[in-house]
Amino acid sequence: MRVYVEFLGYAAEKVGRRWMWLEAETGCTLGDLFAKHLGSTIGAELANALTEAFTRRELAVAVNGRLVDRLEHVLEDGDRLLVFPIAAGGA
Amino acid sequence: MVSLPPQRLYGYTGRILEIDLTHKKAIKIETPRELARDFIGARGFGAKILWDRMKPGTDPLSPESVMVVSWSPFTGTSAQSFHKVFVMFKSPLTGAYFRSVGGGFFAAEAKFAGYDAIVITGRAEKPTYVWIRDDEVEFRDATHMWGATVDGAVEMIRDETDKEARALAIGPGGERLVKIACVVTDDYRTPGRGGSGAIWGAKNLKAIAVRGTKRPELFKPDEFGELVREQVEVFKKSPLLDPFQRLGTNSIVYQFYTLGHHPTYNFKNIELENAEVWRPEVLEKYIVKHVGCFGCMIRCGKRWKLTKGPFAGLYHDFPEYETHWSMGSTCGVTNLEAIAYANMLCDKYGIDTISAGNLVGFAMELYEKGIISEREADGLRLRWGDPDVLVELVRKIALREGIGNVLAEGAVRAAEIIGRGAEKYAMHSKGLELPAYDPRAAKSHGLSYATSNIGGSHMIGWNKYEILGMPEKVDPLTVEGKGELTKRVQDQIAAYEAAGWCAFAELVQTAGYGSVEKTMDWMARALYAATGVEEFKDPKHIWLVGERVYNLERAFNVREGYTRKDDWLPERFLREPFPRAPAKGQIFELDRLLDDYYTVRGWDLKTGTPTRKKLEELGLKEVADELERLGKLPA
């Protein structure tokens, strides 16, 4: 399956790209995607850093516009991921 | 509530200044110790003083109308971000209780002048500004600056008083009694919502300027200093600090659009082409300077500079998240330069950017539906996405020109004037134009829109659980448990606003701690160290103050005739399914959510009114007695 990953803010700066398509196996979790498939594209070190930032809740991931908070989240073909530094605002 | 505060109220100045514009009198009254203990300050002071002083049915634009401008025992201390200026009044836009919050330096300066709050009453015979220098209060002629924009008036006042004076002022919008006009801080960190500027206009009050030389004395200064150091360390490790420092609220525009919280086309919420202009790396390019409020290391304010296009040369306070939405998405406009220019017009003329943009989107949908014609719109074709129409309509609203004179009345009254079914497209709650979140995409946040005592406000119940998934994630699309969540968020905000805190700083600190409880515990310890008020030691007391304030604000509205029927959202949210991901197919389940909310609040299900039991539990027996006397307390 294929998933679309879009990066914002410092995630985009670190990755050096705003978006990419990633190939993954059926049943792939968010954690697997970061560790294996993103790692093979941008390097394991950077992929690990992003995973740790997600675990520390410094980096947020939305799948099809809905926030996910677990690396165990199972992805589906055609999912659109937005990876962004957690940020807030209102006024 | 057994123990009494110590003889001396540390942290407070101990005085409230009452400005009687009719008689040009400045009266200084002692800050009641019970008021401090039971309501802390800022929003709490406003709720209590308005309840005590405003007779039900008072015309907000009459001399009898009372406005409270206040801050907190933390204001002017080293505590981070507790220096907001709170403005409480009966809104000329909605007819209900109102509180609006601004930043900048005014509150700290007024505290240094020796006051815990300013209460404004009466009506000046001619345009007036009030100049406060410590104990001296002067009523000065403002005839020569009447008609000037906010920045012009501030410049004249500083020339005539003190170059370092801090000011709140109105622009032409307030003078013309535009119902969405606001009082503006000298640095545009403005309490923008609800029509405060129209009240000043009706009172012939152009500005209040202040300089102070005193400093608040703290109960346990060393302990307080330690707590502030703890706060700074928590800020530094918070994941929210960097995004706020880099981009302010511009860090989330594109994300929130993606998450379904950034409505488009007057809440029709169809896909907006070119939404990528709100990606953070695009917005960041316009920033040329970072600015902050008094005593805040976040410095979320930014100055933008435009170098190309028809508005090249603009250098001004940036459009906040809400303004990108109101001047942008809800009008279908993606021209950032036009959004920045319209934002600047609002600041200078002194009108609320959220309501102004909402009204432009409203007018555009009326035009699309054929309810208003080009002729009725002064020859303008009110097409979605037209940046020139946006700028021209904002100007017309501020100056009450042509169709702007109709829109200047706010969405509800404008729809009545226009007729022909226009009310269906007026996106408001209790008459306050809705801001940049869709109730269908975040149910607790939407429930707060509906039940808010000030009408459709995003800040009265900004739901970090649903919107950010912090400190823990709550599914924004479910309805179960949302009554309790909404109450919890509203009460917490009321509590920390009683302490004069900034909502952004609370988010930064809570994200740093990873816990709301830790934040509230810190606040209780710091409040005690600042003031010496024994009750403040206990976080439960601080939560109780929040609930008390919220219920008292509710009681104010009940006294004015508000009931469950006013806890309402437009039909669009109740009948039209949300059209795009992630909330595709969602509607807002109003009645079910209201029943849940009233039950959790301990309010009467039929009327949405606090019961005697609830009011007495909150120490508001006299409020229950008055509502009963007026026949407005549920049996």
Do the Cβ atoms of A85 and B242 come within 8 Å? yes
CA distances to B94, B268, B392 from B357, in Å: 17, 15, 12
Sheet of B97-102, strands arranged across: B25-30, B15-20, B117-121, B67-70, B85-90, B97-102
The DSSP-derived string for B386-409 is -HHHHHHHHHHHHHT-THHHHHTT
- Map residue B89 onto helix, strand or coil: strand
- Map residue A12 onto helix, strand or coil: helix
Nearest alpha-carbon partner for B110 in B188, B42, B192: B42
Per-block mean pLDDT, blocks of 10 residues, chain B (635 long): 63 98 98 97 98 98 98 98 98 98 98 98 98 98 98 98 98 98 97 98 98 97 98 96 94 91 94 94 95 97 95 97 98 98 98 98 98 98 98 98 98 98 98 97 97 97 93 95 98 98 96 96 98 97 98 98 98 96 96 98 98 98 98 94
DSSP state of B154: H
Choose from B81, B246, B249, B252 for mutation: most chain A CBs within 10 A: B252
- Map residue B493 onto helix, strand or coil: helix
Q: Measure in Å the smallest separation between the Cα of A26 and chain B Cα atoms.
A: 22
Do the Cβ atoms of A8 and B244 come within 8 Å? no
Whether A90 is covered by a domain: the verdict is no
Considering only the beta carbons, identify the residue of A9, A12, A69 that sits closest to B473: A69
CA distance B363 to B437: 19
Considering only the beta carbons, identify the residue of A56, A66, A90 that sits closest to B503: A90
Element (H, E) at B531: helix B516-531
Beta-sheet pairing, A59-63 with B67-70 = unpaired
The answer to whether A78 faces chain B, any CB pair under 8 Å, is no
Which residue range forms the structural domain that includes residue A11? 2-85
Q: Which amino acid is at B206?
A: K
Q: What is the 3-state secondary structure (H, E, C) of B92-117?
A: CCCCCEEEEEECCCHHHHHHHCCCCE
pLDDT in tens, B191-223: 999 999 999 999 999 999 999 999 999 999 999
Task: Give B252's contacts in chain A (Cβ within 8 Å).
Answer: 87-89
Task: Give A18's contacts in chain B (Cβ within 8 Å).
Answer: 279
* CA B600-B604-B606 angle, 5° bins: 120
pLDDT band at A9 (very low <50, low <70, confident <90, very high): confident
- Map residue B295 onto helix, strand or coil: coil
> Residue B510: what are its φ and ψ, rounded to 5°?
-65, -40
**Residues B89, B61 contacting (CB under 8 angstroms):** no
Average pLDDT across chain A, whole number: 92
Task: Give A30's contacts in chain B (Cβ within 8 Å).
Answer: none
Do the Cβ atoms of A91 and B281 come within 8 Å? no
Structure tokens of A7?
């990066």
The answer to whether B247 faces chain A, any CB pair under 8 Å, is yes
Nearest alpha-carbon partner for A2 in A29, A26, A23: A23
Whether A91 is covered by a domain: the verdict is no
Do the Cβ atoms of B468 and A60 come within 8 Å? yes
CA distance B607 to B629: 17
Nearest alpha-carbon partner for B85 in B165, B183, B214: B183
Q: Measure in Å the smallest separation between the Cα of B301 and chain A Cα atoms.
A: 11
Do the Cβ atoms of A65 and B259 come within 8 Å? yes
Structure tokens of A86?
């957690």
Q: Which residues pair with B185 in a beta bridge?
A: B168
pLDDT in tens, B20-50: 999 999 999 999 999 999 999 999 999 999 9
Window 557-596 of B, Cβ < 8 Å to A: 581-583
Window 20-59 of A, Cβ < 8 Å to B: 56-58
Q: Measure in Å the smallest separation between the Cα of B247 and chain A Cα atoms.
A: 10
Whether A44 is covered by a domain: the verdict is yes
Whether A29 is covered by a domain: the verdict is yes
The answer to whether A4 faces chain B, any CB pair under 8 Å, is no
Number of domains in chain A: 1
**Residues B300, B104 contacting (CB under 8 angstroms):** no
- Residue-level pLDDT at A61: 95
> Residue A81: what are its φ and ψ, rounded to 5°?
-105, 135
The answer to whether B259 faces chain A, any CB pair under 8 Å, is yes
**Average pLDDT, stretch A67-90?**
90
Sheet of A66-68, strands arranged across: A19-23, A2-7, A80-85, A59-63, A66-68
Nearest alpha-carbon partner for B252 in B499, B464, B491: B464
DSSP state of B511: H
CATH of the domain at A72: 3.10.20.30
Domains of chain B: 15-211 (3.60.9.10), 245-429 (1.10.569.10), 439-501+538-629 (1.10.599.10)
Whether A18 is covered by a domain: the verdict is yes
Whether A79 is covered by a domain: the verdict is yes
Whether A34 is covered by a domain: the verdict is yes
Structure tokens of B237?
């490790």
Q: Which amino acid is at B340?
A: A
Side-chain-facing half-sphere of B68: CA atoms under 13 Å: 27
Q: Measure in Å the smallest separation between the Cα of B146 and chain A Cα atoms.
A: 29
Element (H, E) at B205: strand B205-211
Structure tokens of B256?
């929130």
**Residues B138, B151 contacting (CB under 8 angstroms):** no
Nearest alpha-carbon partner for A33 in A54, A19, A15, A47: A47
Do the Cβ atoms of A57 and B514 come within 8 Å? yes
Do the Cβ atoms of A87 and B462 come within 8 Å? no
Task: Give B322's contacts in chain A (Cβ within 8 Å).
Answer: 90-91
Question: How many residues can be counted in chain A?
Answer: 91
The answer to whether A16 faces chain B, any CB pair under 8 Å, is no
Q: With left for phi above 0 and alpha for psi between -120 and 50, is residue B597 left, alpha or beta?
A: alpha
Considering only the beta carbons, identify the residue of A10, A56, A67 that sits closest to B473: A67
* End-to-end Cα spacing for chain B: 27
Q: Which residues pair with B184 in a beta bridge?
A: B169
* End-to-end Cα spacing for chain A: 40
